[in-house]
Amino acid sequence: MTSSLPTPLPPPSTPPSTPGAPVLAADRITVGYRDALVLEALSLAVAAGTATALVGPNGSGKSTLLAALARVLAPRSGAVRLDGTPLRDLPTRAVARRIALLPQTSTAPPGATVRELVEQGRYPQRGPWAMLRRTDDAAMERALERTGVAHLADRRLATLSGGERQRAWIAMALAQETDVLLLDEPTTYLDVRHQLDLLRLVGRLRDEGMTVVMVLHDLNQAARYADRVVALREGRIVADGAPEAVVTPALLRGVFEIDAVVVPDPVSGRPHFVER
């Protein structure tokens, strides 16, 4: 694989996150379900203030890697580190004040309102006791505004379109006011316009200094909206780097088994593939 780049191992202890320093790092993690190992001794360090896209065919382990970064799956060996400290050594609520997660499928009770959903995003700050404070209200309103669902705040989720519901879930994640945001296939159930709205929002959050890691199915979207594209296949990182270095005909053939040409996107200049 011409485009494969070695992934730097994070140093044993990293300083508190400054732009460019790794804020979240998988350190030789082995992850699996029951008998099957999905990832073996995989390492990935994510620099603060960057947007990273995890791409790969179905079953490549990209969602498993995201789940491990989000502590939804505990690694059997190795560690996921937040500013150098293994996640397992941190209280889970403290982690939730640093890392927000948008799950792939949403199961909120259909009778819940958007505001109720977004209010849940304040749990990491409030805990089991505290009433809603002014800071909570402000964070919720900001999240509702950012995602364009403020006018839907009192609507029930069941009455919303798929795009609106997805934005409500992102509002919940933003209400956590974390510096790291993990998104698992955030565009899957959205029509094209809402996909682009969402990716632009992710871009703005990145510009404001947020660290974003997202699993994306659409390689062209990954190339356009991420600073770094990490391609996985069969549980291994097979390519890692800037979109120009990763989205190449060789990678498309080797990883995705498609025969394609790569041309610069006329708007962004990022690589854009077109199948033959």
Footprint of another protein (CB under 8 A)? 67, 70-72, 91-97, 99-113, 115-117, 119-121, 123-124, 126-128, 137-138, 141, 150, 153-154, 158, 172-173, 176, 182
With respect to another protein, which residue has the nearer C-beta, 69 or 247? 69
Supply the minimum distance, in Å, between the C-beta of residue 35 and another protein: 15
Q: Give the sign of the dihedral formed by CA 215, CA 219, CA 225, CA 230.
A: positive
With respect to another protein, which residue has the nearer C-beta, 181 or 239? 181
Supply the minimum distance, in Å, between the C-beta of residue 37 and another protein: 19
196 contact partners, CB below 8 Å, separation of at least 6: none
Integer Cα distance of 167 and 137 in angstroms: 18
With respect to another protein, which residue has the nearer C-beta, 70 or 222? 70
Alpha helices by DSSP H, listed for the chain, are 62-69, 92-96, 114-120, 123-126, 134-146, 162-175, 192-207, 219-225, 243-246, 249-256
With respect to another protein, which residue has the nearer C-beta, 121 or 271? 121
Integer Cα distance of 81 and 69 in angstroms: 8
With respect to another protein, which residue has the nearer C-beta, 106 or 220? 106
Integer Cα distance of 187 and 215 in angstroms: 9
User: What residue has token string 């609106």?
Assistant: 164
Supply the minimum distance, in Å, between the C-beta of residue 63 and another protein: 10
Supply the minimum distance, in Å, between the C-beta of residue 157 and another protein: 9
Structure tokens at 27: 């350190």
With respect to another protein, which residue has the nearer C-beta, 127 or 266? 127
Supply the minimum distance, in Å, between the C-beta of residue 246 and another protein: 27
Say which DSSP state 159 is in.
G
Supply the minimum distance, in Å, between the C-beta of residue 105 and another protein: 7
